Copies of this chain bind each other. A is one copy, B any other.
Amino acid sequence: MPLVVQKFGGSSVADATSIKRVAKRIVETKEAGNDVVVVVSAMGDTTDELLDLAASVTAKPSERELDILLTAGERISMAILAMAITELGVTARSYTGQQAGVLTDAAHGKASIVGVVPERIARTIQEGGVAIVAGFQGVSENQDVTTLGRGGSDTTAVALAAALDADVCEIYTDVDGLFTADPRIVPTARQITSITSEETLEMAAHGAKILHLRAVEYARRYGVPIHVRSSFSSKVGTWISNDDDSQSEESSMEDPIIAGVAHDRSQGKITVKGVPDVPGAAARLFAVVAGAGANVDMIVQNVSSSATGLTDISFTLPEADGEATLAALRAAAGDLGYADLRYDDQIGKLSLVGAGMRSHPGVSAKLFGALFDAGINIEMISTSEIRISVVTRAEVLDDAVRAVHSAFDLDSSDSEAVVYGGTGR
């Protein structure tokens, strides 16, 4: 019998009515001849409410206690969902992360899964029941409750699917799947029917919010097929497949060159001016940046002026890391010997992603041409094998996304996707 792992997020189980709808879908999947394992998040705003409660007694809660507290959320949703399924005449049993055998390291609040031993889940399936598992949580070696960080329920679902050798891991969300661009910016964005996990990773890493990065990495490593779909319809969503499968000769002939256009507004840019252009200067600079905990994305170094022997170095990083990084650089000013420091949080990043660009030359040229035609200036460029990213001014980012989306023929002739454009701009 095929085994399906289904993951429902907080908005899918926000109240009793939603939970009953989800229960109905699970029972339908079961009655269609599948074994079903369900991973569920906390109901609606439960997590935020618990965080507020913690904030009312302390400004700096212990991470261990915060994990204990937050996992109460899934405990409630999983039990209520199991009851709702049982009410429909199908046996269902709920399991905490610990009971489901989700073993993690001890990094409270952002734990990594180190193993999954889902004995009780497997037994429940064998006995013909539906197993409901609390997402987002696990247990450390010393029997403490841990959480995987926000969005960790996706990772729980994929990890369980891998451990149980499931046929598919279905991630239910409030949209129909992944799109070639954010439909709020590009009303003609198309739903993607099939994408590789490598492309999905690049999209997610560069601003596409739909899936948790770690979940896709996990799926890629263990070869778990993911099906991202809507919890409000039974339409086919987006299949995220193993890279190897889709790179077989047969399929690569028909695959589109470009998967989609991602954008990211959450980055800032630091420019360090007048850095002595001597060996080791850049290494010292980025050692200071790394010491501040910043996750550097793109780096550009200007050609040195031979007259002064000085150069400028620019790099992007999450805005959240901006202050701390600037402070660390200022503290190390004497050691680094730079002339000036500038911070710019008005940048936008556009990333064109596609496994097909590996074997198709000219993609960069076409991208730069499209932006030139739209009158948009490029400030920084970085590339990987299957991605080209450019930094622009923040205020022209939306125009840039639309221009590139059109240039690569990603616009839908179908008007359906327009629904998602809504008033989101």
Contact = CB atoms under 8 A, between A and B. Distances in A.
Interface of A: 16, 19-20, 23, 50, 53-54, 56-58, 61-62, 64-66, 68-69, 71-73, 75-76, 78-80, 82-84, 86-87, 93-94, 96, 99, 120, 143-145
Contacts of A58: 83-84, 86-87
A75 B72 contact: yes
Contacts of A66: 79, 83
A62 B76 contact: no
B53 A65 contact: no
Given A66-B79, A76-B69, A80-B69, A57 B87 contact: yes
Contacts of A145: 96
B87 A65 contact: no
Given A62-B86, A93-B64, A57 B75 contact: no
Contacts of A73: 72
15 contacts: A16-B53, A19-B57, A20-B57, A23-B57, A57-B83, A58-B83, A58-B84, A58-B87, A61-B83, A65-B79, A65-B93, A68-B79, A68-B96, A69-B80, A99-B144
Contacts of A96: 68, 145
A75 B71 contact: yes
A80 B62 CA distance: 10
Query: How many identical chains are in the complex?
Result: 2
Chain A contact residues: over half helix, strand or loop, or mixed? helix
A69 B62 contact: no
A87 B56 CA distance: 11
A94 B64 CA distance: 9
Nearest to A95: B68
A60 to B, nearest CB: 8
Nearest to A19: B57
A68 B75 contact: yes
A76 B50 contact: yes
A19 B56 CA distance: 10
Contacts of A120: 143
Task: Give the most central of A23, A76, A94, A144: most B CB within 10 Å.
Answer: A76
A82 B65 contact: yes
A64 B20 CA distance: 19
B62 A83 contact: yes
A323 B78 CA distance: 36
A56 B43 CA distance: 14
